[in-house]
Amino acid sequence: MVRHNVFFWLDESLTDEQKLSFEEGLKALFEIDVVANGSFGKPAGTPERPVTQNTFDYALVLEFDSVEQHNAYQVHDEHTVFVDQFSQWFKQVRVYDTQF
């Protein structure tokens, strides 16, 4: 299994409506046939600690059954649509992929 963790820092000028649109875009990624499981969230209200990083706006977690499925996702038309539609709103994106 591959867990694809994506952290988004968005432009501060986005409206609430634009943020809702972004969330709908995230949800649409869960429907891609090679995605085994998906979820997204915002930083938790946990206490700050020296090792905690919670400056991001959204975290996306997608699971794939294999590296090949992950790789197919990266070039999937719906993933491309998401990137094309929302990338202008990204200030920063970080990806951490883990294989189990």
pLDDT tens string 48-89: 999 999 999 999 999 999 999 999 999 999 999 999 999 999
Is this structure's pTM higher than 0.85? yes
Q: Which residues contact 27 (CB under 8 A, 6 or more apart)?
A: 40
Rg of the chain, C-alpha, whole Å: 14
Choosing among 3.30.70.420, 3.30.2270.10, 3.90.550.10, 3.30.70.100, the CATH entry for 2-44+56-99 is 3.30.70.100
For 47-94, give the secondary structure using H, E and C: CCCCCCCCCCCEEEEEEECCHHHHHHHHCCHHHHHHHHHHHHHEEEEE
